[in-house]
Structure 1
């Protein structure tokens, strides 16, 4: 599958675990500059697709039509983790759009954030659909369907106009034939798409540098979505997660997805980065991404330190005692 060791974890000086995967870095023409493992590895974007899935709604200015604030509209592209401020914004979105929570296709669940989940349990609250990390995306797609006069009940179907437009948009941005994009079903029940890693990197570069997008409406919509993500970073994940930590840096567009996939676009450097951890682990994202940024001599050290603060390379036991370490071991080959 073209995977190589990305991160090794040691306990008591003994190698305990190895996380394999692949990394791809591309330039503004989509050419692979550096790679570790196979840059053509076919990868489902999962939630890393959300900024692109939001573009059809942003084209029609659905946020403005329904009077959504910036922190509410940012949830179109979010994998929110259910903190109180997320839920308040989602409830406001439902009121403003006139959408019933029951109409969301995602399942009812509890928040991903452990503190937020515990809070709901203490309050003896039942699972809710807006607790699902994808609920903001679903509200956006239903609101778009409502505005366009499309069937709101079947917005999740691959044959629905909103889903057809999403895959057309992604194909255009990634510069791949639409027919070449495999589709599956994501955890929230919506269609999801697979691209080679280098195409994911190229797509995120265009999200960061929308001047590379040919179509004017798509270019403006991508720029608006990317700006909302940077202006409201804590809405995209939560106060202690990789996506929000990266988006605090105005030079970056970034979004991760389930099973270890991540995409980043760098505005000043005009490069795109993608990675896939083969075992789906997310706790090694900070180690990998920080290491990539260090190796390309990225200028914002604060961003790198913010990643290391999220998941330190020092491994501690349950009592906080240092018992091991985590090392990025991959090479970026030209």
Structure 2
């Protein structure tokens, strides 16, 4: 039931198509906009990181370890291991009292090409904190240390912290715990699948914490969303869509692997979730820009910044325009 979201033209011929689902919800979780199937069961992947940080902050690890905003923001991020990310991660480890070897995610080179190439050129090895999910792992481990939980099995679904995370997700999404599908993410942590419309509802609440009834969760979300918005570079990195969108103080956003992207709009009180079926991420800026245009979003500078990340024109190696990327979906207003 997915639909074509983006077509890639080379000359006059459609060379590639990217299909997927889009859902936009309003207050109460009512579906307002839809492309494809709003009920499509989808893994949140890294778009779930802000939720996964909630139990730690709700129980005061930020105060217990005197964490700075940037150190907390990187807990929610999919960083590119740029120098400022690595600095925050190393400080975070030191404050919490965690050794790098305790992270389940294996040593890796940064996802950021510049950071990766520099390390290789300098002959430096892979590290666990270069993994884009290392901030999330340190956030979970911070709660383990704070509460005296085991750090050896912190990625197991039955670990106390993981149990707290799934309960918070259930509360925010209004999906019963026993209906949340649990798999294993690329980094080794549990990953959660819920209907796309429920994912959009989570992002509406993350964007508009005043819609959350539970006072403790509401104030924690307010803190986390504020830290992310004030430190957008820590959530992704240079010229990345999440960091770009977070520069707009009306938008809260976070992407995940395999084509999952979520964002919310504060003034409009809308939450959106996107799943590109082939798992591609390159089309995110184009799809988000098209959504904003179709709902009449007022801030044209935000839309323009998305088109700078994913230009409509396709250039070849000789800097000649040889094709175009074109969003072709139409939001159905329900």
Give yes or no for the alignment of 1:104 onto 2:103: yes
Residue 329 of structure 2 aligns to a residue whose secondary structure is coil
- CA distance in structure 1 between the aligned counterparts of 2:64 and 2:308, rounded to whole angstroms: 39
How far has the Cα of 1:61 moved from its partner?
2.3
Q: Identify the residue that residue 119 of structure 2 maps to in structure 1.
A: 120
Give yes or no for the alignment of 1:282 onto 2:281: yes
How far has the Cα of 1:299 moved from its partner?
1.2
How far has the Cα of 1:60 moved from its partner?
1.6
Deviation track 1:313-332 (CA, whole Å, cap 9, x = no partner) reads 11111232111001100111
Give RMSD over aligned pairs.
Answer: 0.7
Residue 218 of structure 1 aligns to a residue whose secondary structure is helix
Deviation track 1:146-202 (CA, whole Å, cap 9, x = no partner) reads 101111111111000000000000000001111000000000000000011110100
Q: Identify the residue that residue 234 of structure 2 maps to in structure 1.
A: 235
- CA distance in structure 2 between the aligned counterparts of 1:53 and 1:98, rounded to whole angstroms: 20
Q: Identify the residue that residue 48 of structure 1 maps to in structure 2.
A: 47
Q: TM-score, normalised by structure 1?
A: 0.99
Q: TM-score, normalised by structure 2?
A: 0.99
Deviation track 1:234-265 (CA, whole Å, cap 9, x = no partner) reads 10000111111111111111000000011111
Aligned pair count? 333
- CA distance in structure 1 between the aligned counterparts of 2:136 and 2:159, rounded to whole angstroms: 16
- CA distance in structure 2 between the aligned counterparts of 1:259 and 1:320, rounded to whole angstroms: 29
Deviation track 1:201-257 (CA, whole Å, cap 9, x = no partner) reads 000000011111121111111111111110000100001111111111111110000
Residue 224 of structure 2 aligns to a residue whose secondary structure is helix
**Correspondence list, 1:263-302, <5 A:** 263-302=262-301
- CA distance in structure 2 between the aligned counterparts of 1:295 and 1:116, rounded to whole angstroms: 36
Q: Identify the residue that residue 211 of structure 2 maps to in structure 1.
A: 212
Residue 258 of structure 1 aligns to a residue whose secondary structure is coil
- CA distance in structure 1 between the aligned counterparts of 2:185 and 2:319, rounded to whole angstroms: 36
- CA distance in structure 2 between the aligned counterparts of 1:254 and 1:318, rounded to whole angstroms: 32
Deviation track 1:59-96 (CA, whole Å, cap 9, x = no partner) reads 02212211111111101100001111111111111111
**Correspondence list, 1:16-31, <5 A:** 16-31=15-30
Q: Identify the residue that residue 166 of structure 2 maps to in structure 1.
A: 167
- CA distance in structure 2 between the aligned counterparts of 1:66 and 1:19, rounded to whole angstroms: 45
Q: Structure 1 stretches of 5 or more lacking a match?
A: none
Q: Identify the residue that residue 326 of structure 2 maps to in structure 1.
A: 327
Residue 80 of structure 1 aligns to a residue whose secondary structure is coil
- CA distance in structure 2 between the aligned counterparts of 1:224 and 1:79, rounded to whole angstroms: 19
- CA distance in structure 1 between the aligned counterparts of 2:142 and 2:152, rounded to whole angstroms: 11
Q: Identify the residue that residue 180 of structure 2 maps to in structure 1.
A: 181
Q: Identify the residue that residue 245 of structure 1 maps to in structure 2.
A: 244
- CA distance in structure 2 between the aligned counterparts of 1:166 and 1:320, rounded to whole angstroms: 47
- CA distance in structure 2 between the aligned counterparts of 1:298 and 1:46, rounded to whole angstroms: 27
Q: Identify the residue that residue 194 of structure 2 maps to in structure 1.
A: 195
Deviation track 1:38-59 (CA, whole Å, cap 9, x = no partner) reads 0000000000000000000110
Runs of 4+ residues deviating >4 angstroms: none
Q: Structure 2 stretches of 5 or more lacking a match?
A: none
